[in-house]
């Protein structure tokens, strides 16, 4: 069974989709379908990148649908979960269509590789979005982003000790990722507006 998100208040629903093995399997089948589409979109456009390269209006509609699906999974009935999963798949398709139609480029990562003494390969990319696009071709490859390398250097300052012998301009911390707005929502409530079906999908019968 799923673990409740401590950031969101959960209200017990006796008709919740996961209250029996049968309804859980049915709901999980729909959720897994959404997850498969999300993985496909990440492979095509990069991790967490697609929602950022579409219009503001489309991004808002997409985030609202993600929230509605999240609430259905946490406390919805089987019909609600199936309906919001279907809408979520339409939402992914809408983002993909807009990004393609406006000529947004698919992500082609620039990868630097170095063979390590133990026979493994370290692949270095700039962002997490690019990391998801790296193909290892069956090799024992570990992918590192520049942000991860920065954290490693901070955790093991002796690695960069020699660099400190050459003082220069200091670099202030730069935010390299864009926060997911849903992570800041702590109270599980509905929207304060009448928007419901954001992507033109009707309730599953």
The pair of three-digit structure tokens given for residue 150, joined into one six-digit string: 């920065």
Mean per-residue pLDDT, 42-69 = 92
Gap between the Cα atoms of 171 and 40, Å rounded? 36
At 122-174, the pLDDT tens digits run 888 887 777 776 765 667 788 888 888 888 888 877 666 656 665 554 444 55
Helix axes of 21-45 and 78-101: crossing angle, nearest 10 degrees: 10
Domain ranges of the chain: 21-105, 112-165
pTM above threshold 0.75: no
Q: What is the pLDDT of residue 91?
A: 97
Per-residue model confidence (pLDDT) at position 177: 65
């Amino acid at each position: 069974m799923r673990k409740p998100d401590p950031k969101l208040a959960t209200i017990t629903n006796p008709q919740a989709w996961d209250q029996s093995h049968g309804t859980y399997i049915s709901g999980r089948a729909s959720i897994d379908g959404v997850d498969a589409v999300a993985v496909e979109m990440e492979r095509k456009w990069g991790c967490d990148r697609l929602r950022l390269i579409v219009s503001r209006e489309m991004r808002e509609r997409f985030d609202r649908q993600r929230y509605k699906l999240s609430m259905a999974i946490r406390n919805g009935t089987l019909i609600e979960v199936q309906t919001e999963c279907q809408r979520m798949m339409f939402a992914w398709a809408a983002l993909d269509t807009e990004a393609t139609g406006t000529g947004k480029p698919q992500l082609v990562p620039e990868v630097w590789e170095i063979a390590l003494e133990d026979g493994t390969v370290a692949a270095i990319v700039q962002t997490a979005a690019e990391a998801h696009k790296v193909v290892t071709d069956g090799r024992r490859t570990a992918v590192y982003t520049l942000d991860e390398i920065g954290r490693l250097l901070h955790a093991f300052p002796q690695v960069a000790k020699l660099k400190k012998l050459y003082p220069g301009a200091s670099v202030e911390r730069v935010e390299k990722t864009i926060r997911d707005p849903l992570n800041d929502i702590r109270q599980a409530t509905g929207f304060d507006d009448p928007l419901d079906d954001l992507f033109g999908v009707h309730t599953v019968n």
